[in-house]
Amino acid sequence: MHYIPHTKEDVEKMLASIGVKTEDEVFAGIPSSLRRKSPLNLHEPMSEWKIIDRLKSISSEMTPSSEKTVFMGAGSYLHNIPSVVPYLVSRSEFTTAYTPYQPEVSQGTLQAIYEYQTFTANLLGMDIANASMYDGATALAEALLMSLRIKKKTSKVAVSKAVNPYYLKVVEAYFEPTEFELVYIPFDENGKTDISKIENTDDIAAFAVQSPNFFGIIEENENISKACEDKGCLFVSCFSEPFAFGLYKPAGLYGADIVCGEGQSMGIPQSFGGPGLGMFCAKEKYMRQMPGRLCGQTLDKDGKRGFVLTISTREQHIRREKATSNICSNQGLCALTSAVFMSCLGKTGLKQIAEINFNNASWLKKKLVELGFEERFKGSSIFNEFVLKAPDGFEKVWKKLSEKKIVCGLPLDKFYEGFENNYLFCVTEAFSKENMENLLENIKKEVSND
């Protein structure tokens, strides 16, 4: 196998050097009674060429978003990624390095993380960002646990039901073994979190909402912030679509204490949901309660600027069971990817592309309404996702379209009661007018066939 460089002669010399005769004797540390009874029941090593054929065949059984027929977001978004992004990120000095524990030979990774932290904090309107979490869902779970560390005397957190339901599942799994309680706050008929319900909820460390929320709606951040202040709890805001902050004010500007979410939209391919990027920001005063790695600026012996991982005493390898999290490996390369992507965007690119998302979504929504769809939540501000109630009997049409590899929004009935025939649509700058017209044409055709 060509990944193993040992020649027969090498092996013989090495065995002689360690004083054993056969290769199997290198396992002298394992008692023979504990050796595996049968050898690995695996195939013969496969050639590169055969593997490419096999993987091509497997991947061809997919419907790629790049065909522009999947009008679904819900936490994973198709955005244009300039060619320079994957090109730069695939430089093996970045990809094949470990965590930068030896800063003298990791300045590339470290400066890039520092720049990522700066981009992220600026994008979300916050003081500081960490070097990344696994994804938006785990970032939210960790943010809630962090709130409980800050508000030591509380035992509950309040979380909006308009947060991505997959994120809520993860939060539930993280909370199950703890003594803490999750309290859900419902959403109202406008698709926004019903802030008034927080008034009767006591003993909470944090109130967490998502904006844009799962329905694509911008939450009333100002009122939420005020409600949190009244309650004396932390304002935690999460997101799954950071492109929205090219247009809309991020929660940091409303005084949020922790802002976290999924950064996949920032230059990272969808890749069946991962690897993505857990973005995590907090107010500076909470720095020592943050989970994950932090990269900081310092000087070398000669007074030259350099970067290191810092405030590490929060982390598992030092504080062990008292650490702020167990996270070790994070999504470093994805953080780098998003830093490259955000460098390409710049302030102007981010704004212009965000506006195209909003324009496309507004246009498609209008056209679907003209086809007989109905707005589920009227009058609320959206970014690039929206919920529509489809004409009666649309389930069959949806299925037929899916057989034609068209995904006409995400059906919401499996998440909430009373959402039969409601669909969450998404359209981004990656879709042309023609792509959207194709969808409309296909819907028209299937509805009339039905």
Between residues 50 and 444, which has the closer beta carbon with respect to another protein? Answer: 50
Which one-letter amino acid corresponds to residue 403? E
Between residues 177 and 448, which has the closer beta carbon with respect to another protein? Answer: 177
Asked if 63 interacts with another protein (CB under 8 A), we say yes
- Min. distance of Cβ 200 from another protein in angstroms? 27
CA dist., res. 305 & res. 279, Å (int): 26
Asked if 8 interacts with another protein (CB under 8 A), we say no
CA dist., res. 216 & res. 73, Å (int): 9
Among 193, 360, 384, 422, binds another protein (CB under 8 A): 360
Q: Please write down the long-range contacts of 167-176, taking CB distance under 8 Å and 24 or more positions apart.
A: 167/75, 167/136, 167/137, 167/140, 167/210, 167/238, 167/240, 169/137, 170/137, 170/138, 170/140, 170/141, 171/137, 171/140, 171/141, 171/144, 173/141, 174/138, 174/141, 174/142, 174/144, 174/145, 175/141, 175/144
- Min. distance of Cβ 204 from another protein in angstroms? 20
Residues 96 to 135 in contact with another protein, rule: CB under 8 A: 96-100, 102-109, 111-115, 117-119, 121-123, 125, 127-129, 131-132, 134-135
Asked if 318 interacts with another protein (CB under 8 A), we say yes
Asked if 446 interacts with another protein (CB under 8 A), we say no
- Min. distance of Cβ 373 from another protein in angstroms? 17
Among 319, 371, 395, 441, binds another protein (CB under 8 A): 319
Between residues 149 and 201, which has the closer beta carbon with respect to another protein? Answer: 149
Asked if 440 interacts with another protein (CB under 8 A), we say no
Asked if 86 interacts with another protein (CB under 8 A), we say yes
Asked if 371 interacts with another protein (CB under 8 A), we say no
Residues 223 to 242 in contact with another protein, rule: CB under 8 A: none
Among 149, 226, 249, 445, binds another protein (CB under 8 A): 249
Whole-angstrom distance between the N-terminal and C-terminal Cα of the chain?
57
User: Which one, of 213, 205, 204, lies nearest residue 237 by Cα?
Assistant: 213
Among 46, 186, 229, 369, binds another protein (CB under 8 A): 46
Q: Which two tokens stand for residue 307?
A: 């970067």
- Min. distance of Cβ 139 from another protein in angstroms? 10
User: Which one, of 422, 124, 428, lies nearest residue 277 by Cα?
Assistant: 124
What does the per-residue mask of binding to another protein show for 272-311, with x meaning CB under 8 A?
xxxxx----------xx----xxxxxxxxxx-x-xxx-xx
- Cis before 275 (ω within 30): yes
Question: Which positions ≥6 away from 215 have C-beta within 8 Å?
Answer: 162, 187, 191, 376, 377, 380, 385, 386, 387, 424
- Min. distance of Cβ 137 from another protein in angstroms? 4
With 0-12 CB in 10 A as exposed, 13-18 as middle and 19+ as buried, what is 298?
exposed
- Min. distance of Cβ 361 from another protein in angstroms? 8
Between residues 103 and 372, which has the closer beta carbon with respect to another protein? Answer: 103
Angle CA(143)–CA(145)–CA(150) in degrees, nearest 5? 90
Asked if 153 interacts with another protein (CB under 8 A), we say no
Asked if 255 interacts with another protein (CB under 8 A), we say no
Asked if 182 interacts with another protein (CB under 8 A), we say no
- Min. distance of Cβ 17 from another protein in angstroms? 6
CA dist., res. 375 & res. 305, Å (int): 54
Binding segment (CB under 8 A) for another protein, from list 192-200, 223-231, 343-351, 441-449: 343-351
Asked if 32 interacts with another protein (CB under 8 A), we say no
Asked if 78 interacts with another protein (CB under 8 A), we say yes
Asked if 248 interacts with another protein (CB under 8 A), we say yes
Coil/strand/helix, residue 189: coil
Q: Quick count: other Cβ atoms within 10 Å of Cβ 108?
A: 15
